Structure 1
Amino acid sequence: MPPGSERRLRRNNRLIVGTLAALAVLVTAGLVWTSSRLPDTYSVMGMGHAEFGGGPADPVHGGHAGHGWDGPPRQLGDRDVTGLTGPRDRPPDVAVELVAARDGDRYTLNGTTPGPELRVRQGDLVEVTLVNESVPDGVTLHWHGVDVPNAEDGVAGVTQDAVATGGSHTYRFVAEDAGTYWYHSHQVSHAQVRGGLFGTLVVTPPAGEAADHDVVAAMHTYGDGPTVNGRDGLRVDAAPGEAVRLRLVNTDNEVKRAWTADAPVRVLAVDGRAVHEPVPVTDAAVTLPAGGRVDLGFTVPAAGTAVRVELGGVAVVTGPAGAPDPPESEPPAETVDLLHYGTPAPLGFDPDDADRTFEYRIGRRFGLVDGRPGMYWTINGGMVPDVPMFVVSDGDVVRMRIENSGADNHPMHLHGHHAVVLSRDGEPATGSPWVVDSLDVGRDETYEIAFVADNPGIWLDHCHDLSHATAGLVAHLVYSGVYTPFRIGGPGANEPE
């Protein structure tokens, strides 16, 4: 072998090996990038994997991961979500038209943000016609906290197509449960809700309200700061001795606190469900998760002074006309603990006799989603699209353990159902049944909840910090034998989060 040829051969071999190694890395990275890509259009039924919680496996959903992005094939006898509607056979008791528009960086309904307050009686058949005047990305209306039939839930790509500019969509549902609720778009929701595409809904009992004053206060932060009902404060004239019911609605992504130093208050209801035997509290704040509602009750002092309820940067002041506004007060150190507030009452079902038990473990890690690198939320260890599909059957008693690994707090919202909180970090609930549709799971907290699967459909179970939802914190609760023809993306350009 000529002098130096052995060295050249070794150098060439190292070059070849290095080139092959680099090529292998590039090929692997390309495969990882390609596998992370989402199709332009797909069914949510094709996402992730089915979990059955110890209940009977559904062979159709059980194999849906192998069906590809179209999800399981439709089976004879499947219920189509389009058939799970409110009544169509009688005239409505309340009929409303809401016209959605975009005005610069704000969105409006009937020219205002928030949109109109809707107030109906329990048992009314409500008909709302949504008209999209000028929202370019399309729009829907989700009835947050109202356990409507699935077709009326207003989730683009799951229960309907987004309403395009110039189009309309009609929602019909019976307002079965009295309480405080709200409505908002579930199309590009992280931008449209923040931009003002929402309003409040109050369902009053047939006998009317016991309070002398029934007031809704929607807390929302626009680009220029916090507001209540779109203003920088709210004043309510009320005479000494009159009773006030203040319905607080948190339409932001963040936890809110409410408190007053001027009068004892009672927590009358949470997420539209009455608290059993609420007691007056002083020097304690009430927390509202994103999407949550709390009804407070208090009496205007006989001395004729006003009551100031602080909402974090804004306030509601209630008192006699001309009475001076009380000064701002600092938030108290104590918080009303709803795990032990009020007294026990029957649930109507036995959580200890559950048909299915699920885990909803929230984490966070680096990864690729749709070809984009970043930090993404995980559910049970998987990133979108590898998220659970929790499968239930009609009438199942369901328990769910929600564990937050500690990266942030998460206001978890289950569509179409209310759940009772059983425990927090292993500590059992001892007060009034704490019934929620929006539950803030704090850092390193674990909650157990339970509910009855009594509303067939395909339902989102997601974080209502909507920026978290866009980063993957979305799962679905699906009833066995329910099918949706709608798709994410596609002709409807559906983008629910």
Structure 2
Amino acid sequence: MNETRRRGARVRLAVAGAATVALLGPLVWLWVGSLTPDTYSVMDMGYADYGGRTPAPAAGLPDHSAHLMGAGMHGHAGHTPAGRSVTSFTPDPGRPADVAVTLTARRERFRLAGGRSVDGYTLNGTSPGPVIHATAGQLVQVTLVNESVPDGITLHWHGLDVPNAEDGVAGVTQDAVRVGGSFVYRFVADQAGTFWYHSHQVSHEQVRRGLLGALVVAPAVRPPARTVDTVALLHLYDGARTVNGREGDVRVRALPGDRVRVRVINTENGETPVWVGGAPFRLVAVDGTDLNEPSPVRDAAVPVTAGGRADIEVTMPADGAPVRVHIGGPTGVVLGSRSYDPPAAPRPTTTLDPLSYGRPAPIGFDPDSPDRRFTYDIGRRPGFLDGRPGVWWTINGHMFPDVPMFVVAEGDVVRVRIANDSGEPHPMHLHGHHAVVLARDGVRATGSPWWVDSLDVGDGETYDIAFVADNPGIWMDHCHNLPHATEGLVAHLMYEGVTTPFTVGGPDGNAPE
């Protein structure tokens, strides 16, 4: 009888063990598959997507079925194929700089213009850092010095299509600049418009805590004398909404009849509305690109994507009345001469839609006959991210690091469909390129060409965009809600034959997001 009981107990134990293995085995497999090594190249991430084309023999990437990091970094991990390095994509080294700036980064407690104390980071002792001004065609040289930022630092030139070596992404185009080190960025500012700069090392923390500033490139032909030009950089410090580092209104002197260009820069993680009280306005540029024949607007708000920019032009009233440009709330930029006390205007119920604003104009290529077609489907599901359980973002059904590498060749016309079914909006930012919006939810664009580098894709929305692959390198294509990027909403655009010697992690602690 006892022997029978012992046999029964052994059977029950074996069954329980088998059930445990059956239950936990897949979880352990998923957990192991999610782990990323201490050091890895973005070239070894996920799988290559060639957009419907046959890969070139020298592309240096596996076929569509290869899943590298998700399979424990097998395949070509650790192998750097022959090709042109990202470090080779630089401007003429012999050309002297037209604009030379040194930015010294520090970790310190500083005071905002209104007196609030912030524990964060500064550039040249302030946050935001100095506004960098250039004229289209000038060569800009910025020397970044890290005095005391412990995790290292880089500078990314958000929206300016610089050569790849100057893009400032730790672990992709350079190593993070450690304490006591420096790095020199050189690029020709050949696009007139409104841009900004920020760290791309531990960016979700360093941008929030102050490592950012504005970059304005003026057109080579100057506007009329009676034009006022001002920057309005939105940023939250410890929950305090500021414009140019100041809580409350920023006052700008403008006389009756002056045309005022307010360059709104949204450095936050979510979209913000901008509207004008006291005068009509025109939306004259988006993401550093002028719109074609923008018409006057009243009683409508302009949505400004996270990371995006919107240039608002106001002609001051003849009677000298002040005008308020609201930036996300009751405060913003007040334009005036005799008075700076206009009443706050409530947010309009109408939102301006760039899809149909302005007049059509040629874009210079045929997006309906692309060389490559990609999909960028954003979703969300439970799983493991580098060993951490949670509900994480997915790209084309895959979780980081098992995400697509979008591969193109120089000169390709590229068409991308971005679809979001994740439950939250995502401001998508492609480095090194501007894309034109072709359609939203199947409705084709009918207004001015709407060129973007930062595009807010709402939950349930689908956008069709296109661009020409005219800037070789390896480029991030990620969500600019920076915490979302740390949660895996990151992919890359890679040109065939281009390689990088830099790695994420490693002795420099490269951590781009």
**TM-score, normalised via structure 1 length:** 0.96
1:197 counterpart residue number:
211
Partner of 2:334: 317
In 2: Cα distance, 1:144 partner to 1:68 partner: 34
Deviations 1:380-420 (A, max 9, x none): 00000011100000000000000000410000000000000
Query: Is the contact made by 2:251 and 2:340 (CA closer than 8 Å) also made in structure 1?
Result: no
- The answer to whether the 8 A contact 1:45-1:70 is kept is no
Distance in 1 between the 2:202 and 2:89 partners? 24
2-structure distance, mates of 1:219, 1:20: 57
Specify which of 212, 217, 222 is matched with residue 208 of structure 1: 222
Structure 2 CA distance for aligned equivalents of residues 293 and 421 of structure 1: 16
Contact kept? 1:406, 1:445, Cα under 8 Å: no
**% identity of equivalent residues:** 59
1:17 matched to 2:26: no
Partner of 1:80: 85
Q: Which residue of structure 1 lines up, in the alignment, with residue 376 of structure 2? A: 360
Q: Tell me which residue corresponds to 2:175.
A: 161
**Which of 126, 129, 137 is 1:115 aligned to?**
129
C-alpha displacement at 1:74, in angstroms? Answer: 3.4
Paired residues of 2:30 and 2:383 also in contact (CA < 8 A): no
1:70 to partner: Cα distance: 6.3
The TM-score, its normalising length taken from structure 2, stands at 0.93
Deviation at 1:179, TM superposition (A): 0.4
Query: Which residue identity is paired with 1:145?
Result: G
1:301-323 Cα deviation digits (max 9, x unpaired): 111110011112331100113x1
For residue 284 of structure 1, give the secondary structure of its aligned residue in structure 2: coil
Match of 1:423, SS state, is strand
Q: Which residue of 2 aligns with 1:90?
A: 95
For residue 34 of structure 2, the aligned residue among 23, 36, 41 is 36
Distance 1:71 1:458, change over 3 A: farther
Deviates more, 1:293-302 or 1:392-401: 293-302
CA distance in 2, matches of 1:373, 1:223: 28
Instruction: Name the counterpart of 1:185.
Output: 199
Quick check: 1:86–1:148 contact (8 Å CA) kept in 2? no
Q: Which of 309, 328, 342 matches 1:293?
A: 309
Q: For residue 142 of structure 1, what is the aligned residue in structure 2?
A: 156
Unaligned runs of 5+ in 2: 110-118
Runs of 4 or more above 3 Å deviation: 3-8, 23-31, 63-76
Deviations 1:267-295 (A, max 9, x none): 11100101000000000000100000010
- Whether 2:263 is the aligned partner of 1:250: answer no
| Residue aligning to 1:61 | 61
Q: Is the Cα contact below 8 Å between 1:36 and 1:371 reproduced in 2?
A: yes
- What is the identity, as a one-letter code, of the residue corresponding to 2:62? G
Hey, what's the Cα distance between the residues in 1 that align with 2:77 and 2:475? Answer: 16
Q: RMSD over aligned Cα, in angstroms?
A: 1.5
- Of residues 202-211 and 427-436 in structure 1, the stretch that sits farther from structure 2 once superposed is 202-211
Q: Count matched residues.
A: 493
* CA apart distance, 1:22: 2.3
Match of 1:45 in 2: 43
Q: Which residue of 1 aligns with 2:114?
A: none
Unaligned runs of 5+ in 1: none
Cα displacement (A) at 1:35 = 2.1
1:487 aligned to 2:503? yes
| 8 Å Cα contact 1:424-1:448 kept in structure 2 | yes
2-structure distance, mates of 1:300, 1:82: 48
Stretch of structure 1 that moved more, 170-179 or 216-225: 216-225
Deviating more after overlay: 7-16 vs 342-351: 7-16
Moved more, 15-24 or 368-377: 15-24
Determine if the alignment matches structure 1 residue 392 to structure 2 residue 398.
Answer: no
Counterparts in 2 of 1:444 and 1:24: CA distance versus 1, 3 Å: closer
Using the alignment, how far apart are the partners of 2:78 and 2:351 within structure 1? 47
Distance 1:20 1:352 in 2: 55
> Is 1:231 aligned to residue 274 of structure 2?
no
Cα deviation for residue 33 of structure 1 reads 2.1
**Other-structure match for 1:279:** 295
SS across alignment from 1:353: coil
CA distance in 2, matches of 1:483, 1:88: 21
CA distance in 2, matches of 1:12, 1:491: 51
